[in-house]
């Protein structure tokens, strides 16, 4: 096991857990975010047996088990290996960075089932040694064109299912560039491979300035990069329109689902264990993890969904209008060694001041330090912990220059009220 928290650009996994204030963090990358109930049960049991029972769902739909010790870690890995949740080696797990539409294969409003493409791309990434030199955070995204769009999420190489003149294709997007190239669906793996190799070749000697595909696009332009692969480009701006919230009961086409979110991305294994028992009772077979810190029970009847909402509304977010969905907060003190503030407690107190509906995205980010792990993007208000107080950043990221410094919780609350005044109730 290699464990550390201080190497720049380094990403934790299950085989490379990260040291934190409450022990080791073991991060699981679940293929396509799909967990059978059996696998989900194994994870919650491992969290309770070998960790402290706290589980985080990340903004890339990865699951993190907290509070694991150096003694319990090998047992946890053994327990999860049996359920095909652990890769063969550290390199394979770190390269397997593929985000997929959370309802892949079951959403009748989607344009195609992307499941085989997700598996094939993961397999190729693991098997291709040369691609293991990609930067740790380099990622791929595959969107099926269905109800829960992930197109607007940040990634390096995105494949968006689309139909043009009745022909089904993937539009390939580099970062969030305004140009795409169209490919036949069967060419996804070979296109991902060619683009990743081109990226590696282009950054040689420029590793500090070209860390992600957006750096290369800024230098060469998407058109030139695609031209190297013999692909033509067309203009296509990314759609940032309000997405459908996965939280609450939905029917996508005729297919029913219930989305339940983890407050600030964190839940207790006991809650999920109870949820698995519930799903079992109603003959459901899987859970879907989403990048919006929510999980989905697919195929649930409306009546059963109402039962679940009544049973779990204390521990999970069951309504899309819940103000906590408009707030991002990292682990903070005492779970993170870099924090000097209790971000999760403070975020809960601040949630009374945030009235904007969840669909307008993250309005308030409470960050334990300027790393901004919980929300690496801009938000209307960001509070950044420093020496037990908060610095205030407006319309920026956690590492941007603060407008005010050294606010205690009362002054921070006043600033939130002032800045978010006028938000829709």
Binding site for ligand SF4 (CB under 6 A): 330-332, 336, 338-339, 367-369, 371-373
Closest approach, Cβ 368 to ligand SF4, in A, equals 2
Q: Which is nearer to ligand SF4, 311 or 373 (CB)?
A: 373
Q: Which whole-number Å values give the CA distances from 251 to 144, 161, 242, 258, in the listed order?
A: 17, 21, 18, 9
Q: Which is nearer to ligand SF4, 151 or 365 (CB)?
A: 365
Q: Which is nearer to ligand SF4, 318 or 333 (CB)?
A: 333
Cα angle, residue 414 at apex, residues 410 and 417 outer, rounded to 5° = 140
Q: Which is nearer to ligand SF4, 126 or 365 (CB)?
A: 365
Q: Tell me the residue number closest to ligand SF4, measured at CB.
A: 368
Beta-bridge partners for 141: 99, 158
Largest CA distance in the chain: 60
Q: Which is nearer to ligand SF4, 18 or 86 (CB)?
A: 18
* Residue from 374, 353, 362 nearest 419 by CA: 353
The C-alpha atoms of residue 174 and residue 134 are separated, in whole angstroms, by 15
User: Residue 161 — φ and ψ, nearest 5°?
Assistant: -65, 135
Closest approach, Cβ 398 to ligand SF4, in A, equals 7
Helix, strand, coil percentages, rounded to 5, for the chain: 35, 25, 40
Closest approach, Cβ 350 to ligand SF4, in A, equals 16
Closest approach, Cβ 86 to ligand SF4, in A, equals 24
Closest approach, Cβ 41 to ligand SF4, in A, equals 28
Q: Which is nearer to ligand SF4, 101 or 331 (CB)?
A: 331
Closest approach, Cβ 343 to ligand SF4, in A, equals 6
The C-alpha atoms of residue 98 and residue 141 are separated, in whole angstroms, by 6
Could you report how far apart the first and last alpha carbons of the chain are, in Å? 49
User: Residue 77 — φ and ψ, nearest 5°?
Assistant: -65, -45
């Amino acid at each position: 096991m290699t464990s550390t928290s201080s190497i720049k650009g380094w990403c934790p996994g299950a085989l490379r857990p990260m040291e934190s204030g409450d022990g080791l963090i073991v991060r699981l990358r679940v293929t396509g975010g799909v967990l059978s109930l059996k696998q989900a049960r194994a994870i919650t049991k491992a969290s309770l047996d070998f960790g402290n029972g706290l589980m985080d769902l990340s903004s890339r739909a990865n699951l993190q088990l907290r509070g694991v010790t150096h003694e319990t870690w090998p047992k946890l890995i053994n327990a999860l290996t049996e359920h095909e949740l652990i890769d063969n080696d550290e390199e394979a797990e770190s390269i397997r960075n593929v985000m997929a539409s959370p309802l892949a294969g079951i959403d009748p409003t989607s344009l195609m089932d992307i499941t085989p493409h997700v598996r094939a791309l993961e397999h190729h990434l693991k098997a291709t040694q040369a691609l293991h030199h990609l930067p740790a955070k380099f990622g791929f995204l595959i969107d099926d064109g269905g109800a829960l769009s992930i197109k607007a999420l940040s990634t390096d190489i995105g494949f968006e299912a689309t139909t043009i003149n009745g022909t089904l294709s993937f539009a390939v997007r580099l970062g969030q560039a305004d140009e795409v190239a169209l490919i036949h669906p069967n060419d996804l793996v070979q296109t991902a491979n060619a683009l990743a190799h081109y990226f590696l070749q282009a950054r040689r000697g420029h590793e500090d300035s070209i860390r992600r595909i957006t750096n290369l696009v800024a230098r060469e332009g998407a058109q030139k990069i695609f031209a190297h692969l013999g692909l033509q480009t067309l203009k296509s701006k990314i759609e940032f329109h309000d997405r459908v919230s996965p939280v609450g009961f939905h029917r996508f086409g005729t297919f029913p689902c219930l989305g339940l979110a983890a407050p600030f991305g964190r839940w207790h294994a006991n809650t999920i264990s109870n949820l698995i028992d519930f799903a079992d009772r109603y003959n459901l077979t899987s859970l879907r993890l989403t990048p919006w810190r929510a999980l989905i029970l697919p195929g649930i009847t409306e009546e059963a969904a109402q039962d679940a909402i009544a049973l779990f509304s204390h521990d999970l977010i069951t309504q899309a209008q819940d103000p906590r969905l408009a707030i991002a907060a990292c682990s903070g003190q005492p779970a993170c060694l870099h924090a000097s503030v209790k971000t999760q407690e403070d975020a809960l107190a601040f949630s009374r001041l945030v009235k904007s509906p969840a669909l307008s995205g993250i309005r308030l980010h409470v960050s334990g330090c300027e790393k901004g792990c919980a929300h690496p993007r801009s938000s209307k208000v960001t509070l950044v912990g420093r020496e037990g107080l908060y610095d205030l950043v407006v319309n920026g990221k956690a590492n941007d220059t603060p407008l005010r410094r050294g606010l205690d919780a009362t002054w921070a609350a006043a600033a939130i009220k002032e800045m978010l005044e006028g938000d829709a109730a």
